[in-house]
Amino acid sequence: MTRAAEQASSLDLVFGALADATRRSMVERLRKRPLTVTELAEPYAMSLNAVSKHAKALERAGLIRRHIRGREHSCELERARFDEAMHWMSYYSEFWSSRMDALEKHLLEKRRRERKG
């Protein structure tokens, strides 16, 4: 990060984006299908402008992608983007790390069985 003390790191942006309840709610709704900014705004008691800003924050963090078709901006969840943060966190969670360990063991075992038989 040469001139980038100024620019937030990727994890800063992802966690920062998820630290807001409105944005988490948006992510939840985008899980089902893409939504335009206007559709996104519908449930919230705030201006379209505010929603537009939230969408931009999610986009900056890479958590959504935007497809512009005419005047409509369709916002789509970028599921892969969650992995980085999940991976970071997994080091600190007993629950998940133990489950991941179990899974790794399972996969190794399976591979071993498959090689044999």
Partner DNA sequence: AGGATATTCAACCTAAAGGTTGATTGTCAA
Partner DNA sequence: TTGACAATCAACCTTTAGGTTGAATATCCT
Question: Which spans of this chain sit near its own copies (rule: CB under 8 A)?
Answer: 9, 11-12, 15-16, 18-21, 24, 27-28, 31, 77, 79-80, 82-83, 85-86, 88-96, 99-100, 102-103, 106-107
Two tokens at 16?
A: 């920062």
Task: Indicate which of its own copies, DNA, none lies near residue 54 (CB less than 5 to 8 Å, by partner kind).
Answer: DNA
Position 52 contacts DNA (CB under 7 A):
yes
Instruction: Find, among 69, 71, 63, 26, the residue nearest to 44 by Cα.
Output: 26
Q: What is Dmax (Cα atoms) for the chain?
A: 63
Q: How many residues contact DNA, by CB under 7 A? A: 29
H-only helix segments in 19-93: 21-30, 37-41, 48-60, 81-90
Positions in the binding site for DNA (CB under 7 A): 6, 8, 16, 19-20, 22, 36-39, 45-50, 52-57, 66, 69-74
